[in-house]
Amino acid sequence: QDEEIESLLGILAILGLPAAEAILSRLGYAKDAYVRNLLEQALYRIGTAGASRVQQLLSSDNPDWVCLALRVLGRYRLPESVEAVRAAANSKDPAIRTECAKALLKIRTAAALDQLYDLLTERDEDVRAVILKAFGHSREVRALPVLLNMAKSQKEFGLEPRTRDLLFQALGRIGGPEVCEVLLGILQERRLWRPRHDEDTLAVALEALGEAAAATGAGALLGLDFKSERLQRVKADALARIERRSAVEKSA
């Protein structure tokens, strides 16, 4: 059965735009996720010839079709679809907003990144989480100025604990002197040194600093004193990671 489906998808890819028209005209019959997934695969196989037709689905009243269109457009990675994808992010449906962020992350042009930065200013924690995880995973250096600004202005951005943690983790993976400076600044805020106050914030910042692994940050980190045993352990792990990274860099 899988081989038959693969053969059919290949035939549809050869037919091109007429096949896309046929598929889209039958979306109403796609009652379950399995069939919608097959249609999505077929549209992707057809290629960008059907992009303009797929983009029309973004105005559909059916959220499943809109999400399908966003996934296909993301896989097409067409720069000219950025504006339409971003406009769909104004939807009240959380699934659609999340798919918009995922599509923009796949397109990943400068214009797409600008739209992602704009989405980070909106207080949709699920969308923020998708973007921050992706920026950290891919070590998106181009996003660094925006992420550093978020870290410095957490209150203005209204960051919830989960989002703040993802932000620190993304910064740690991207790394660099500026990241270490900001993370150290957060760790050095004496108001955070009270027992059990914002311990989670400090723990994640310490882990991120260890991930950033700047040898210049080790001395400043050594000077920080934490009463919490948990934070002492995290600090020791961060220092060990910095030392390992430094040793590797010296031997390279």
What is the rounded CA–CA span in Å between residue 182 and residue 177? Answer: 9
**Tokens found for residue 123:** 């207080």
**DSSP class of residue 93?**
-
Across the chain, what does the average pLDDT equal? 84
pLDDT digits (tens, 9 = 90+) for 71-102: 999 999 999 999 999 999 999 999 999 999 99
| Least confident stretch, 4-8, 33-37, 108-112, 187-191 | 4-8
State residue 209's pLDDT score: 85
State residue 85's pLDDT score: 96
pLDDT digits (tens, 9 = 90+) for 145-164: 999 999 999 888 888 989 99
State residue 26's pLDDT score: 65
Q: How far apart are the first and last CA of the chain?
A: 52
Asked whether 238 and 203 are in contact (CB, 8 A), the reply is no
Which of 35, 33, 49, 28 minimizes the C-alpha distance to 5?
35
Instruction: Check pLDDT > 60 for residue 206.
Output: yes
Q: Which comes out higher in pLDDT, residue 115 or 56?
A: 115
Indicate the pLDDT class of residue 30, thresholds 50, 70 and 90: low
SS3 of residue 198 by DSSP: coil
What is the rounded CA–CA span in Å between residue 139 and residue 101? Answer: 17
SS3 of residue 60 by DSSP: coil
Which of 155, 165, 154, 107 minimizes the C-alpha distance to 132?
165
Which of 220, 216, 210 minimizes the C-alpha distance to 242?
210
- Cα dihedral 113, 157, 146, 188, rounded to 10, equals -150
Q: Which comes out higher in pLDDT, residue 210 or 141?
A: 141
State residue 191's pLDDT score: 58
| Least confident stretch, 43-47, 49-53, 130-134, 196-200 | 196-200
CA 53 to chain CA centroid, nearest Å: 27
